[in-house]
Amino acid sequence: METPKRRSWAEPYRMKMVELLKMTTREERLKALQDAGYNTFLLHADDVYIDLLTDSGTNAMSDRQWSAFMTGDEAYAGSKSYYILEETIQTHYGYKYVVPTHQGRAAENLISQILIKKGDIVPGNMYFTTTRLHQELAGGTFVDIIIDEAHDPTNEHPFKGNVDLDKLDAVVRQYGAEKIPYVCVATNVNMAGGQPVSMANLKALREYTHKHGIRIIHDMTRVAENAYFIQQRENGYQDKSIKEIVLEICSYTDGATMSAKKDALVNIGGFLAINDWDIFEEARNLVVVYEGLHTYGGMAGRDMEAVAVGIAESMDEHHQRARVGQVEYLGNRMIEFGIPIVKPIGGHGIFIDAKAFLPHLKQDLFPAQTLAAEIYLDSGVRTMERGIVSAGRKPNGENYYPNLELVRFTVPRRVYTQAHMDVIAESTAEVFEKRDRIKGLKMVYEPKYLRFFQARFEPL
Ligand SMILES: *Cc1c(COP(=O)(O)O)cnc(C)c1O
């Protein structure tokens, strides 16, 4: 690449409009936190200064995406915006058939209902909340086959998203290939901390699944960020473009679910893409029940236009360098302060190891949930829990006790500045200095599904 080595990751854009934020006092934040039951999901966004709750749907769109918005075709059937989106997906990801959905989980619902039968096993490289739930609702059981390194927040393996083929083989031997409708492979594994899968691993997985007649369904939510890491870290890919790498990744899989709210730089949207005509036929029938006609699937024509432009922009080398560079900058500031974070620094955010940050709190006292509340109180920075609360309960009612008890600082794309990153790290460092005084929370309300969204807590 022609970018000089000792140049910063500065953004390949400038600002034309800004969004003004409300600044709050500590007293106001304490009141807001109490009203929210110490769950950062329940805060009013208005009371948040820097919002790192998620990188999902929080992207800043470009001037080109906003222009495309105006050219959206809102025809109920056969909208030209659909054909533009379809062609963009075929060109950049290489999949044959496309069913638009309003977001990623709707695509997960379709593929789970179509492919999973009661009693089936779905191996995957770490669970994702909505993905696993749809697999379970369809009668399947998720089995984690990610490499052990992914569960160790201090391990610096460059591809912590990799599938452990021995684990997969053990599952195949135990249940038989006919019980496995597909292997679910996420690129840039969200729950592992935004960690990539290597191309070598994908190739080996393709070979193995071919031999056993098992499909691969790709959770491609952050595939371009994964491609950037392959370009930076994997032998033989330094001179390949992100666009080429993304196409190669997708070529080892049979279909994909996509949340366009991440990589694709929009605020809403998603799709199911698939190479098999019969599955496509069924998905096209089913999408009408849940989302809308197969040429809009829950999206407005203008949304499909913005997704199409966003997909192309996500392939830009300078964009990904600044995107991942900003996250690395924040992570390195945290490391300078001695804050325990998951390493290597991931693609879409920083993940603090709450067990190491608050070693005096047992997991039943919700250390990550507690820490997220403390950071909000200190500075109005909103983060979220990815630990025991997010992991939820097993179908038999027992709590999952995940190894990783993390606080997630997800960085929206093209939204915040380097000075914002400094404030985030400084505030976390201040909470870190006073960590001995932090006592934990107790859960006082627990919803049945995906409890992390609505659970309420009280301080001990
Ligand atoms: C966000 C996400 C999804 C679900 O997509 P939505 O658009 O939020 O429904 C699925 N998998 C992963 C890895 C995600 O990050």
pLDDT score of 129: 86
> Helices (H), strands (E): how many in the chain?
16, 14
CA of 75 to the centre of ligand 1 (A): 27
Cα–Cα distances in angstroms (integers) from residue 98 to residues 83, 94, 283, in the given order: 10, 11, 9
Q: Which domains does the chain have, with CATH numbers?
A: 26-55+317-459 (3.90.1150.10), 63-314 (3.40.640.10)
What is the whole-number distance in angstroms between the Cα of residue 260 and the centre of ligand 1? 9
Query: What is d(CA 255, CA 127) in angstroms, rounded to the nearest whole number?
Result: 18
Assess whether the C-beta atom of 135 lies below 6 angstroms from ligand 1: no
12 cis-preceded (ω within 30 degrees of 0) = no
Q: Which of these, 191, 188, 172, lies nearest to 127 by C-alpha position? A: 191
410 lines ligand 1 (CB under 6 A): no
Is the CB of residue 103 below 6 angstroms from any atom belonging to ligand 1?
yes
> Residue 4: its pLDDT value, please?
62
- CA–CA gap between residue 352 and residue 414 (Å, rounded): 22
Query: Taking the model in full, what pTM does it have?
Result: 0.93
Closest CA to ligand 1's atom 3:
104
Would the CB of 221 count as within 6 Å of ligand 1? Answer: yes
Atom number in ligand 1 closest to CA 259: 7
CA-based nearest residue to 423, from 367, 378, 374: 378
Other Cβ atoms within 10 Å of 287 Cβ, number: 25
| Rounded Cα gap, residues 450 and 393, in angstroms | 9
- Give pLDDT tens digits along the chain (460 positions): 555 677 888 999 999 999 999 999 999 999 999 999 999 999 999 999 999 999 999 999 999 999 999 999 999 999 999 999 999 999 999 999 999 999 999 999 999 999 999 999 999 999 898 999 999 999 999 999 999 999 888 899 999 999 999 999 999 999 999 999 999 999 999 888 899 999 999 999 999 999 999 999 999 999 999 999 999 999 999 999 999 999 999 999 999 999 999 999 999 999 999 999 999 999 999 999 999 999 999 999 999 999 999 999 999 999 999 999 999 999 999 999 999 999 999 999 999 999 999 999 999 999 999 999 999 999 999 999 999 999 888 888 899 999 889 999 999 999 999 999 999 999 999 999 999 999 999 999 999 888 888 999 999 9
